[in-house]
Structure 1
Amino acid sequence: MEGLKLSDAELMVYIHPSKSRNVRKAICRELSSLLFQYDETFDGVLLAYDLTVGSKQAKILAGLTPYFGVRVNTKLLLFNPKPNSLVEGKILKVSLESIHVVVLGFSAAVITDVDIREEFKYRMKDGEECFVSRSDKDHVLKVGTMLRLQVQSFDEEVMHIAGSLIPANTGCVKWLEKKNDEEALHMDRDRKRRKL
């Protein structure tokens, strides 16, 4: 999935003296407070981290409460989908006007009816709202379907994605993978025929 990146970072984490007995736990608590929030320093939403304390030495900051800074090396997993990138999520709700998706379990995405390509037609199928492709009846978008969508915009404050299904490489992930496998099989057969 596009929008995910792994980044190495060298950070200085400032810790209150009362937490000096277990420095590693205090560092983890500080970094955990940044999880699932957009941070301009990292240019993304922090999803996970793996840290190693760089040095046993700490820098003491003068003041009423003398905090100390610990240098930390960490690997960060960040989420920051850029416009026109592809992300995947699970469909939560389908209506005539929109499709609602959750991406990575925390970010909401909405695809409005103007951003759904004309190939898809809204239907009620077995009492369930869905969008069905006119060109292939097996390409169905309904609640529970894993969906690949194109990002139009990402609102960092509320973790909201405005998405689109206009490009041909968007839609049901299983259907897209099956289609790609069939195309690869046809290309392989054509190569074998040419060799003969």
Structure 2
Amino acid sequence: MEALREAEAELTVYVHPSNAADVPRAVARQLSALLFSYEERFDGVLLAHETTLVDEDIKDDGSEVKGKKKIRAKILNGLVPYFGVRVHANLLIFSPQPDMILEGKVEMLSKESIHAIILGVFSVAIMSDDIREKFKFKRKSDGGRFVSRSDRQHVIKRGTMIRFLVKGVDTEMNCHITGSLIPPHTGSMRWLSVHDAEYAAEINSGNRRSRNVSIKIEQNEQEHRILKNEDSMVKSERAHKSRKRSIENR
């Protein structure tokens, strides 16, 4: 998918001293807290990350020596002494831009609009003015469908994977996308794979990368869910201890 890009970054992650016993895990938790939300520093939404702590040592003259196992972290001044850890990160970022061609699954549609979802996370709205005229809306018991007047086999309904042009992106709504089905090579992906030579050649060359990306995203979704569950358990435990102390103090 055109909006997916891989990037490398040198980051400094700030870790609380209580997590000093397992710094790699603490770093992973900090980055996982950013998953699936728009970040200006990345110019997109972080979908996956792989991190490596930067091993370094410092000579007396202040120059760095690479390859050492010892990691020096700088303590920050303040009430809470967080320490900064240098990290090399490989990032997978979703960064849609106007005029890109993207793909999504139709979740809901009516005569006025088509609503789809990308990667199971990001919403897309295609209004009636941006659906080419050759598509006619027909009401059915399953909610309706758009059928092409030139080829009745070209159908867009709930569950259809579609290919569309990006018109605009609202980053304040976590990359909510406005799309269009007016340009050529857009519409039902199944129909295009048979009747559109350009698209057929494109998907044949991109299948392997798409599978790898899906695996990475699924792994990080699981990690994100685990992180949220762990945080909720910690909050629950703290609340329980607080109530226990208040009872004992009475």
> TM-score by structure 1 length?
0.89
Q: Which one of the candidate residues 143, 151, 157 is aligned to 1:136?
A: 151
- 1:166, distance to aligned residue in structure 2 (A): 0.6
Structure 1 moving runs of 4+ over 6 Å: 182-185
CA RMSD of aligned residues (A): 1.8
Give the residue type in structure 1 aligned to 2:35.
L
2:75 alignment partner in structure 1? 60
Aligned length: 185
Say yes or no: does 1:153 pair with 2:163. no
Say yes or no: does 1:163 pair with 2:173. no
- 1:181, distance to aligned residue in structure 2 (A): 4.5
- 1:2, distance to aligned residue in structure 2 (A): 1.2
CA distance in 2, matches of 1:184, 1:156: 31
- 1:126, distance to aligned residue in structure 2 (A): 5.8
Q: Say whether the 8 Å CA contact 2:193–2:200 is kept in structure 1.
A: no
Give the residue type in structure 2 aligned to 1:161.
I
Give the residue type in structure 1 aligned to 2:183.
P
Say yes or no: does 1:106 pair with 2:106. no
Kindly provide the CA deviation profile for residues 89-145 of structure 1, in whole angstroms up to 9, marking residues without a partner as x: 100011010001011111110100000001101013465400001111111000000
Give the residue type in structure 1 aligned to 2:126.
I
Aligned ranges for residues 115-130 of structure 1 at < 5 Å?
Answer: 115-125=130-140, 127-130=142-145
Bigger proportion of residues as strand: 1
2:84 alignment partner in structure 1? 69
> TM-score by structure 2 length?
0.71
Q: Which one of the candidate residues 168, 182, 196 is aligned to 1:180?
A: 196
Aligned ranges for residues 72-87 of structure 1 at < 5 Å?
Answer: 72-87=87-102
CA distance in 2, matches of 1:103, 1:127: 22
CA distance in 2, matches of 1:17, 1:181: 58
Q: Which runs of 5+ in 1 are unaligned?
A: 186-196
- 1:180, distance to aligned residue in structure 2 (A): 3.0
- 1:63, distance to aligned residue in structure 2 (A): 2.0
- 1:84, distance to aligned residue in structure 2 (A): 0.6
CA distance in 2, matches of 1:124, 1:44: 37
Identity %: 51
Bigger proportion of residues as helix: 2
CA distance in 1, matches of 2:193, 2:104: 15
